[in-house]
Amino acid sequence: MVDHYSKKELIFKKILFLSGFFIIALLFTIFLTLIVSSFPSIKAFGLGFLSGKVWDPVFSQYGCFPFLLGTLITAGLALFLSFFFSLSISILIGEYLKKGTLPFLLKGLIDLLAGIPSVIYGFWGLFFLVPIVQKIEVFLGITPYGVSILTASLVLSIMIIPYSASIGREVIGLVPSEIKEAGYSLGATRYEVIRKVILPYAKGGLSAGFLLSLGRALGETMAVTMVIGNSALLPKNIFSPGNTMASVIANEITEATGKLYLSSLIEIGLVLFFLTTIVNIMGNYIVGRVKC
Amino acid sequence: MKILLLLALLLAACNPRKIELQGAGASFPYPLYSKMFEEYYKEFNVGINYQAIGSGGGIRQLLAKTVDFGASDVFMSDKELKESPNILHIPICLGAVVITYNLPGNPKIKLTPDVIADIFLGKIKKWNDKRIKEINPDIALPNKDIIVIRRSDASGTTFIFTDYLSKISKDWEKNIGKGSMVNWKIGLGGKGNAGVTSLIKQTNGAIGYIELTYAMEQNLPYAVIKNKKGNFIEPCISSVSLAGDIEIPDDTRTSIVDTDNPFGYSISGFTWILVYKEQGEEKKGKELAKLLWWMTHKGQEYTKPLHYASLPTLVVKKAEVIISLISYNGRPLLKKGANF
């Protein structure tokens, strides 16, 4: 009998290890494929690929700096724009509206936002946001392109709200009532409790949520490519058209003929891979430090 | 489970040695090809599975031998063919790129090659520039910025358009060149014909290029363009067919932009199906050759309703010779002149 059970345990444990190992192996092989496939481009341009400002498939000149910059600006700006919304929603659902239909409805709607396909966001941006941005540009006296880094960031900021908000509301809901009550018993107002008790306690989880949404913003392709203007020139300001790494890959990989062209596109994928890894490592570090 | 297996076996038994051809490539002729393949299936019971993954992808898949035929709007260069000889190009139909715009009232404007080049180079910046006014004396052109809209995704449409610009403008050829993706100095990119069209519709003073078929379906305005012989030509399927009605090389790998035909529309091009000259399987190869023969002959009747330009007779004759080269073990698979 005992033997039989321990055998089951062993098999169970083996399955767990195997799945864990499978994920590691998968990630490693993806990484390996990216490196091998981008080798011709790495050999041809070296580190200049990162700082190169010209992307010219006709004359085989490839540098991804404008796209790297575009990715960082759009994702960063989107995170900034969504920050206050996500935080407010998290506090509202996690602290103010704990029971009843309203928070239920709100939660459902936010989760729904995460489920909308990105091409729908893209179309919404193209048909709703672009004319608004054009009006702003006419008002400011600049050429009314409508599609720009700003438009892309606005679309992205809405797309990433559900990721940070749903994690945020969970961690805020998890703050033990004892410490909140301790705050109130010392005479603190609700605002003060949120500001000085809840937020510091939930900081780690909140940051994790924002990092997750940042990762989403870095890799978003379809919605961005529809509203960013897809220009390989360095953006002058947030009203300029730009491009992101994911969007360039999606736009050009289908027709990329020639070894160097294809491998340069794959190298952009490799750079994006590194970028998300760095963001994740940084995130884990921040979350870990805040928790301690 | 057993019933399912049995059913599968039965189904398999019903279609003994059914042949299915696999193809992949250009998205531009996709609507035409799917219509042709559907009709071909009805007539000959040969299924053809075509994936519109783009011209570059089509060539890659053919080289990797994962498909029986590739399709491309861009012919393989001499250098590419040197690396992988034994590939034939069979022209199937012609397509064209038109210049569309968003102006008050959308009048029919006329454009000349040098004006087009300078607009897309960013040298002509306003709609009421005197060079545009000179060719369109009857149209009230607004004092508005010209906003150039182009494709953001690499495409055969961009190739034909930049091929044309490189041919008519030294400046363009030297600084930008031709390709399915080029380093644009100005303008905004929209994804696909649909992306370009919606940007143009939303932006006053926009100008851009899209496929003729798409412009006709969407009822968009497009410019009349002066060709090499000095005639202003309205893009339509007959003027596009005429563009290909010129002396071309026997392997049909040629660009016909800026055509010599006095009534041809300047920004036109062939689209090809690419196959191996020496086929790996006799039966499959034979079906493929038959299909290509059908597409260049009887299949041509499906071009017009879908706004594609049919092959000129001269080109069909060249295609016949190329199809008769398809062989297995060195023996041609279709007897010459054999009409089936």
* Contacting residues of A for B177, CB less than 8 Å apart: 58-59
Residue ranges of the alpha helices (H) in B234-338?
237-243, 282-296, 313-323
Closest partner residue to A57 (CB to CB) among B155, B181, B185 is B181
- A191-216: per-residue pLDDT in tens? 999 999 999 998 888 888 898 899 88
Which of the pair, A13 or B15, is modelled with greater confidence? A13
Confidence of residue A5 (pLDDT cuts 50, 70, 90): confident
Distance from CA of B57 to the nearest CA of A (A): 5
Question: Average pLDDT, stretch A175-180?
Answer: 90
Distance from CA of A241 to the nearest CA of B (A): 7
Closest CA to A50 of A67, A71, A64: A64
Confidence of residue A76 (pLDDT cuts 50, 70, 90): very high
Q: Which portions of chain B are predicted below pLDDT 50?
A: 13, 16
Tell me the one-letter amino acid at B183: N
How far apart are alpha carbons B281 and B84 in whole angstroms? Answer: 19
The pTM of the full predicted model, rounded to 2 decimals, is: 0.85
Please report the pLDDT score of residue A289 as a whole number.
67
Selected residue of A61, A145, A248, A257 to mutate for chain B interface (largest B Cβ count, 10 A): A257
**What would the DSSP string read from start to end of B104-169?**
TT----EE-HHHHHHHHTT---BTT-HHHHHH-TTS---S-B-EEEEESS--HHHHHHHHHHHHH-
Closest partner residue to A147 (CB to CB) among B55, B80, B188 is B188
Percentage of chain A modeled with pLDDT above 70: 97
Please report the pLDDT score of residue A292 as a whole number.
42
How far apart are alpha carbons B98 and B118 in whole angstroms? Answer: 16
Question: Average pLDDT, stretch A155-163?
Answer: 93
A–B CB contacts, 8 A cutoff, strictly below: 100
Confidence of residue A15 (pLDDT cuts 50, 70, 90): very high
Selected residue of A53, A255, A261 to mutate for chain B interface (largest B Cβ count, 10 A): A255
Percentage of chain A modeled with pLDDT above 90: 59
The residue written with tokens 């009048």 in the block is B107
- A230-254: per-residue pLDDT in tens? 999 898 899 999 999 999 999 988 7
Selected residue of B30, B149, B191, B207 to mutate for chain A interface (largest A Cβ count, 10 A): B191
Q: Which two tokens stand for residue A26?
A: 């998968």
ipTM value, please give it.
Answer: 0.81
Distance from CA of B188 to the nearest CA of A (A): 5
- How many CB atoms sit inside 10 A of residue B1's CB? 5
**Is A252 in contact with B54 (Cβ distance < 8 A)?**
no
* Contacting residues of A for B189, CB less than 8 Å apart: 229-231, 241, 243, 251
List the single residue in A with minimal CA-CA distance to B26.
Answer: A255
Selected residue of B188, B193, B196, B204 to mutate for chain A interface (largest A Cβ count, 10 A): B188
Please report the pLDDT score of residue B11 as a whole number.
52
Please report the pLDDT score of residue B262 as a whole number.
95
Torsion of CA A65, A71, A77, A81, to 10 degrees: 180
Phi-psi category of residue A107: left, alpha or beta, with phi > 0 → left and psi -120 to 50 → alpha: alpha
- Chain A residues whose C-beta is within 8 A of a chain B C-beta are 54-59, 61, 126-127, 130-131, 134, 143-147, 225-226, 229-233, 241, 243, 247, 250-252, 254-257
- Chain B residues whose C-beta is within 8 A of a chain A C-beta are 53-57, 59-60, 74, 80, 145, 147, 152-156, 176-185, 187-191, 195, 198-199, 202-204
For residues B258 and B167, is the Cβ–Cβ distance under 8 A? yes
Q: What percentage of chain A's residues is helix, strand, coil (to nearest 5)?
A: 80, 0, 20
Closest partner residue to A254 (CB to CB) among B54, B183, B188 is B54
**Is A54 in contact with B183 (Cβ distance < 8 A)?**
yes
Distance from CA of B201 to the nearest CA of A (A): 10
How far apart are alpha carbons B235 and B14 in whole angstroms? Answer: 49
- A82-101: per-residue pLDDT in tens? 999 999 999 998 888 877 88
* Contacting residues of A for B188, CB less than 8 Å apart: 145, 147, 229-231, 241
Please report the pLDDT score of residue A98 as a whole number.
75
Backbone dihedral angles phi then psi of residue B192, each to the nearest 5 degrees: 70, 175
Which of the pair, A74 or B28, is modelled with greater confidence? A74
What are the distances in angstroms from CA B66 to CA A252, A253, A271, B60, B132? 21, 18, 29, 9, 50
- Determine the distance from the C-alpha atom of residue B139 to the mean position of all C-alpha atoms in its chain, rounded to a whole number: 32
